[in-house]
Amino acid sequence: MFPPLAPLPRRRTLPVVLAALAGVLVLAVLIGGTVVFARRFVPAPQEEGTGGADTSFTTSDPAPGQTGEPRETAYINDVMPGTCVDDVFDKTVGDVFLAECTDAHEGEVLARFDLPSGRWPGQKRVDSLAEEGCDRRLAPLFERSPIKDRLSSMPVIPAREDWPGDRLVICVAVHKATRSLLFRAVNP
């Protein structure tokens, strides 16, 4: 007869599998972190004017100030009419970058007003009152502007959680073409 066979050595696959899984997990976290960083901190490309529109006041270049130099910021409620600004394409903006009106910029603050006091009237009503109030205040200014056919008003509205302490609406003149830039003061 044959001598008994020696038991086969145990393979150590569990530590190898766990190490591989840990490596995959670390790689996934790194890739996810890179994607989140890119979406948050890398500027999206600017869109050009629409259709056959006159683009003499628009550009597809990156937004002004995105070259790394420090830029002055201000809380939108502290910005006075006649001030040109960047980073205003959000209805409830906080801080904005201040810009020279003779350089490329996203908008110009032209008016400010308070919504009526009282209880929160609801988001639709706040939007409606803000849009009507800005349109009424900016229409005469647009009429005098050399670029009036390219302008639109954009109200920056108070947030519900800030009501009733903040009822201030900031009326910003922006280019009608989505996220295009202005290159001169709206109301010189």
What does the angle CA 55 – CA 60 – CA 64 come to, to the nearest 5 degrees?
A: 110
Domain ranges of the chain: 15-43, 73-175
Q: What is the pLDDT of residue 25?
A: 67
pLDDT tens, residue by residue, 12-24: 666 666 777 777 7
pLDDT tens, residue by residue, 37-50: 444 444 443 333 33
pTM higher than 0.85 for the full model?
A: no
DSSP per-residue letters across 58-96: ---SPPTTTTS----EEEGGGPPTT-EEES--STT--EE
Q: What is the pLDDT of residue 54?
A: 32
pLDDT tens, residue by residue, 62-78: 444 455 566 788 888 89
Q: What is the pLDDT of residue 6?
A: 57
Give yes or no for a contact between 105 and 86, defined as CB atoms under 8 angstroms apart.
yes
